[in-house]
Structure 1
Amino acid sequence: MRKELLKAILLADHPQEIVEHTVTSYQEVAGNFRLEKWKTSELDAGHFVESVRRLIENKLFGSFTAFNTAISSFNQGVLNKYEAAQGGEEYRILIPRVLFAMYCIRNKRGVGHISTISPNKLDATFILHSAKWVLAELIRLSSKNSPAEAIQLVDNILERQVDLIWEDDETFMVLDKKLKTSDKILLVLYKQDRLSADELRAKVDYKNKSAFTKIIRGQQKEKAIAITAEGICKLSPLGVMLAEEIINKSS
């Protein structure tokens, strides 16, 4: 799984507890953004900032604030402490300042506290792309991946729990046999977005390649999915809504 590959890269350089919290909190930010839950997405950014701050502490100072202990307030003094430490400027200067900007948006724009500005798409977009940049930079620093390869890994980790799908290390199966292939496609992409047409066809267990191509082209025409120039299928906001309707009807 792509998420496990991403974790394996980070585990080469950082403690498992920090890696788990960092990846999970990023998924929460990205997942709620895709559902257009701006406030929830921005609130989740607080967990991401706190997780990566612990990663920075461990990298620069050799230990980190336990997760069952509140981390200190984020302010200019903390930024100065990071900058004065020994280590790469990514950990001392660049990543901390991006985190601080995320922290300020989360705390001062009607997300964590009452403000004249309510949570909105513009602020949530800033937070999402800042979190994506931070996570991609951590991957780049822990591996030999290029920035483009690192961001692709980040883009590919978003998965959701879907009760209609059975997945373990050996099996991936859509369990409702009555569903149309087009609905199965939406469910699979809802659980794990950005799959090649062949990967998607295998996951819905559809044998006829040319007929399957017609189905996904039809869904593209209906704006439920998009197909990139490289043949990657991804769910549109409309596709997310349609997938959730399928899930709700089955529950």
Structure 2
Amino acid sequence: MITARNVLESSYDRTLATELLEAYTEAKHNYLLGGHRLSAVEGGRFCEAAYRILEHLTKGRHTPIGVQLDTEKTARALESLNAADFPKSVRIYLPRALRVVYDIRNSRDVAHLADGIDPNLQDATLVTAVLDWVVAEFVRLSERVDADTAQRLVTELVTRKYPVVQMFGDRPRVLRADLRASDTVLVLLYHRGATPTTLGELTAWVADSMQKNLRRTVRTLDDKALVHLEGTEVLITRAGEHDVESRKLLEFDSS
């Protein structure tokens, strides 16, 4: 199965790609668990890996990890590149997006209140959104996969993942035993985002007690327009996403 990690680690310097993805994963994890300040910190680490990837992509070498990175100099060098040699995303969009995250990490006070208003949530929300876009853009620029696969990987990257679903290999498991079958299905489909899920996969992922009537459960959700069932494939609808979010099914404690 092709993943964003496969694409990035085979398209760019492997060490830098791994560093980028580790920082990305930590930033997202901290954000979803409410660690907004830590999310911004990981955003800075992410940016240093991303700047180095851009250096390596355009020069064939990069500032070694552990050596102070002059991000402003790097950004100026990227902006001065010949437009015929590198796309605008590499020269302009990515460096400027990274600058925003880097400045929040270094210039904003992510540890204290500002004028009595805590900026950590809004900062972390911006940081994680930019990180989503940057990783997705690196996937798109890799040209290692066809357009349809790249779009699927990008969509999966920007879909919010929640700690209530844990991956065991390729198998997701909902960690809330209090959910009924229909809600468990909705959470799994929400987690999958735009990736179609088969009835067979759902059957394998839910608890044994839910398997016997799973097809009926999915059809009921389809009748309510919460999912879209076509043949053996199921996708969550916008109405289904709203239902999951409004009833807080993605939280460990929904009381």
> Alpha-carbon deviation of 1:233?
9.7
Comparing 229-238 with 108-117, greater Cα deviation is found at: 229-238
Q: Where does residue 83 of structure 1 map in the other structure?
A: 79
Q: 220, 229, 236: which is aligned to 2:245?
A: 236
> Any unmatched runs of 5+ in structure 1?
221-225, 246-251
Instruction: Output one character per residue of 1:193-222: Cα deviation in whole Å (capped at 9) or x when no partner.
Output: 53747344431152321135658999x8xx
Q: 58, 71, 74: which is aligned to 2:71?
A: 74
Q: Secondary structure at the match of 1:109?
A: coil
Distance 1:118 1:61, change over 3 A: farther
Q: Where does residue 13 of structure 1 map in the other structure?
A: 11
> Alpha-carbon deviation of 1:32?
2.4
Q: Where does residue 31 of structure 1 map in the other structure?
A: 29
Q: Secondary structure at the match of 1:111?
A: coil
Please show how residues 5-154 of structure 1 align to structure 2 within 5 Å.
5-67=3-65, 69-75=66-72, 77-85=73-81, 87-88=85-86, 89-111=88-110, 118-143=118-143, 144-145=146-147, 149=152, 151-154=154-157
**Partners of 1:53 and 1:122 in 2: CA distance:** 24
**Partners of 2:76 and 2:39 in 1: CA distance:** 28
Comparing 8-17 with 38-47, greater Cα deviation is found at: 8-17
> Alpha-carbon deviation of 1:20?
1.6
1:207 equivalenced with 2:212 (yes/no) = yes
> Alpha-carbon deviation of 1:241?
2.6
TM-align CA RMSD: 4.2
User: Normalized against structure 1, the TM-score is what?
Assistant: 0.69
The residue identity in structure 1 corresponding to 2:169 is D
**Partners of 2:23 and 2:35 in 1: CA distance:** 15
Distance 1:212 1:148, change over 3 A: closer
User: Normalized against structure 2, the TM-score is what?
Assistant: 0.68
Contact kept, 8 Å, 1:9 with 1:139, in 2: the verdict is yes
**Partners of 2:222 and 2:178 in 1: CA distance:** 12
Distance 1:118 1:71, change over 3 A: farther
Instruction: Output one character per residue of 1:153-187: Cα deviation in whole Å (capped at 9) or x when no partner.
Output: 3135847597xx68236xx48699x945638939x
**Partners of 2:37 and 2:160 in 1: CA distance:** 22
> Alpha-carbon deviation of 1:101?
1.2
The residue identity in structure 2 corresponding to 1:97 is R
Aligned length: 230
